[in-house]
Amino acid sequence: MSSAIALAAVVAFLPLTSRAEEQSERYIAAGERLYESLEYERALAQFAQARRLPRNLAQDVRIALFEGLILSDMGMHEEAVAAFKSALLLEPEAALPAPASPQVTREFEGIRKEAREELAARDRKQREARTEAAPVRTNTARLTPVSTPTPRPTWLSSSIALGKVQVPVPALVLLGSGAVAGGVGGIFGLQSRAQIQAAHEAPFRNEMVARHGEAVSTARVANILFGVAGLLGTGAAATWLFSSPPMDSHAQENR
């Protein structure tokens, strides 16, 4: 039952995410038009606005690619390389969304090669880690004694009395976990606000862009934690409502 409620909550959030992605697309399109008009500062501002909203993978890649082109045209080589690389790590086969000089194109292909090598190295490490963690299977059928089934933990069916109300222990566990997730999400939300304020007060453009990126990442973690807290709270309520109350001791004696 809890799984069905969680699925319903996720489905309810989908229209909100879709509308947010549409708003992000408007900012991205405005940034692209400003880039074509050579209004680089205003274009970067539009892309920064898009980063504050939920986005899909393709939108993240487009933003990073256009930021790389703009920073390259502005002579900010290191920042442009970082933007291109962030896009290619998300999508190694991505292409430049607008014509660029031969030098920028060559550098872009070099960054693509580096991104592919990093991704390949990461995949190798993950495979090696899974291989090392996999248990070694041996034929121990004759040596292993017959084990009895593990009884179900009593706490799953027990409850705690809060005044005159009997609250199931699983509901309390879910509710406590949701409270922890919500508290941590609040901490991340406050941290995101502080990072946005620091970005507004940054004296240099590079620092402002970096601060905005950190704030968006932190806000995304906070939103995820708030969503987890909501789902855990819903699961706690469902567990409480649909858990059968323990049988009275007098009823057991009569039976």
Residue 152 counted as domain residue: no
Residue 19 counted as domain residue: yes
Residue 28 counted as domain residue: yes
> Within this chain, do residues 234 and 120 fall inside the same structural domain, yes or no?
no
CA neighbor of 79 nearest in space, from 88, 89, 69: 69
pLDDT of residue 44: 96
Residue 92 dihedral angles phi and psi, to the nearest 5°: -60, -25
pLDDT of residue 67: 96
> Within this chain, do residues 120 and 190 fall inside the same structural domain, yes or no?
no
The structural domain count of the chain equals 2
Chain position carrying tokens 């939300």 = 189
pLDDT of residue 193: 79
DSSP 157: T
Structural domain boundaries, residue 110: 1-126
Each residue's pLDDT, cut to its tens digit, for the chain (255 residues) gives: 444 444 444 343 344 556 777 899 999 999 999 999 999 999 999 999 999 999 999 999 999 999 999 999 999 999 999 999 999 999 999 999 999 999 999 999 999 999 999 999 999 999 998 888 876 665 555 556 666 666 656 555 566 666 566 666 676 677 778 788 778 778 877 887 787 877 677 676 777 777 778 878 877 887 887 887 788 778 767 766 766 554 444 444 444
CA neighbor of 244 nearest in space, from 118, 126, 159: 159
Question: Which of 126, 147, 169 is the C-terminal boundary of a domain?
Answer: 126
CA neighbor of 16 nearest in space, from 54, 61, 58: 54
pLDDT digits (tens, 9 = 90+) for 121-176: 999 999 998 888 876 665 555 556 666 666 656 555 566 666 566 666 676 677 77
> Within this chain, do residues 234 and 167 fall inside the same structural domain, yes or no?
yes
> Within this chain, do residues 167 and 63 fall inside the same structural domain, yes or no?
no
> Within this chain, do residues 22 and 114 fall inside the same structural domain, yes or no?
yes
Residue 135 counted as domain residue: no
Residue 186 counted as domain residue: yes
- The pTM score is 0.47
Cite the beta strand spans of the chain per DSSP E: 159-162, 165-168
pLDDT of residue 14: 41
pLDDT of residue 137: 66
> Within this chain, do residues 111 and 3 fall inside the same structural domain, yes or no?
yes
What CA–CA distances, in Å, run from 46 to 49, 55, 105, 235? 5, 14, 24, 39
Residue 134 counted as domain residue: no
CA neighbor of 106 nearest in space, from 97, 116, 96: 96
pLDDT of residue 155: 52
